[in-house]
Structure 1
Amino acid sequence: MKTLLRIDSSFRLNNSYSRIAGDTFVKEWKILNPIGIIKNREIGFFHVPHLDQALYNEFYQAQNPSDGLRLSDELIAELIDCDEILITVPMYNFGIPSSLKAYFDLVVRTGKTFLYQDQPIGLLQNKKAYILSSMGDFKSDSPNLVEMHLQKILNFMGVTDISYYSLDGTADKNYVNQQLRNQKKSIRNILNQ
């Protein structure tokens, strides 16, 4: 039985293209994994606190864990316990939302998600990740900045099996509606890879 961890990062609860793609993905995933478990982590609406010096110090010498350290441990446990990771992410100002950056600042931790032994070794190996991104502009042939950023972070933690679905051109309603009609098929294709 597989466990999917879904991480939503759009600040929009309604009319979010990345969330719509995530909903479609989950429906298709459930068809392939009828007894699978889906865990949700909402970080777009319920913000993860940003890393600060005090919490960073606790990563290395916590005697009385703060709420921030307990949250970091909880987020890391979710990643360790899942088999697959779904990240729904809009592009804001050419990058990932600050809430998603804050999330990764809390989960990329020495001894928890990676080790250094002459070079970094990711500890979240044998997991599959899916990045579903949306952006107002039209996608070029090269990977977009959101995908490149998330790929680098996931690879650093040991997640190298990553599939992508990008819903681009969301500023053009006619174009995006055409893409939405093909969304289910596109997501089904990445799930069957």
Structure 2
Amino acid sequence: MPTLLHIDASARPAGSDLTTFGSHTRRLGQRFLARWRELRPGDTVLYRDVGLTPPAPVSASWIHAAFTPEERRTPWMRAVLRESDMLVDELIGADVIVAGVPMYNFGVPAQFKAYIDNIVRVGRTFGFDRTRAGEPYWPLLADMGKRLVILSSRGDFGYDEGGRIAHMNHVEPAIRTAFGYIGITDVATVAVEYDEFAGERLAASIANAERAVDALAERLAAAVGVSEREAA
């Protein structure tokens, strides 16, 4: 059965439907997950809360260990990479990745950047060979049929493509770039805007996002089912 990996990156511990000033991305993620479980109750669901329990940031020791060939790694190198290996294994095992990532100062939260730094791994999620003709880098997770859903939230409005401040949005573009680099290019996005405005505009944006999340969960649940039947 397919596996869904649900990641939360908000520093706020509860959804905005549960508490005042709660997280819109946690709210959307839980809604997506609830609809998915209704449609596909037998699927495996993994959960990773990098917002409240972030991975360790990349260090000089981590870089040394990651760029040392596996057969030459010492015990301390394997220990340094243990958390990263766990995160990469989760990602490799997932068919659908649902990431709730709010916008913090135009970009992703530091906690989620640490996650990206841990899963973009030479030899694990991308290949590198300086003697390779043409492009020395290549994705290792391509052609696996993985799907990525980005659920975001923003204080202002107009961050979507063609919007008044789309050029200031470094959330979805950064995530697309990092995940595309390792071979995950099937990406869908939903976002709440107007958080700092509150009132009717925020309420309308949340309602629109929730409808979009429902439709997206239904579409992807059906698509995963089709893929299973074709594989059989």
Query: What TM-score, normalized by structure 1, do the two folds share?
Result: 0.93
Aligned to 2:4: 4
Higher alpha-carbon Rg: 2
Aligned to 1:153: 178
2:198 equivalent to 1:173: yes
Aligned equivalents of 1:106, 1:98: Cα separation in 2: 12
2:65 equivalent to 1:47: no
Aligned to 1:129: 148
Aligned equivalents of 1:163, 1:79: Cα separation in 2: 17
2:74 equivalent to 1:63: yes
Report how far residue 183 of structure 1 moved.
3.2
Aligned to 2:228: none
Question: Runs (4+) of structure 1 moved beyond 4 Å?
Answer: none
Larger deviation, residues 115-124 vs 67-76:
115-124
Give the SS at the match of 1:177.
Answer: helix
1:139-150 equivalences under 5 Å are 139-142=158-161, 144-150=169-175
Give the SS at the match of 2:42.
Answer: coil
Gaps of 5+ in 1: none
The answer to whether the Cα contact below 8 Å between 1:8 and 1:42 also exists between their aligned partners in 2 is yes
Deviations 1:9-63 (CA, angstroms, capped at 9, x unpaired) = 1111021111011111111121232211110111111121110111110112321
2:34 equivalent to 1:27: yes
Deviations 1:86-119 (CA, angstroms, capped at 9, x unpaired) = 1101111110011111111111111100113542
The answer to whether the Cα contact below 8 Å between 2:31 and 2:214 also exists between their aligned partners in 1 is no
Larger deviation, residues 100-109 vs 61-70:
61-70
Aligned to 1:183: 209
Give the SS at the match of 1:95.
Answer: coil
Aligned equivalents of 1:103, 1:177: Cα separation in 2: 31
Aligned equivalents of 1:54, 1:133: Cα separation in 2: 32
Give the SS at the match of 1:145.
Answer: coil
Report the aligned-residue RMSD.
Answer: 1.5
**Residue type of the alignment partner of 1:167:** V
Matched-pair identity in %: 32
Query: What TM-score, normalized by structure 2, do the two folds share?
Result: 0.78
Report how far residue 66 of structure 1 moved.
4.9
**Residue type of the alignment partner of 2:177:** K
The answer to whether the Cα contact below 8 Å between 1:49 and 1:68 also exists between their aligned partners in 2 is no
Aligned equivalents of 1:156, 1:164: Cα separation in 2: 18
Aligned to 2:93: 81
User: How many residues are aligned here?
Assistant: 193
Aligned equivalents of 2:26, 2:159: Cα separation in 1: 22
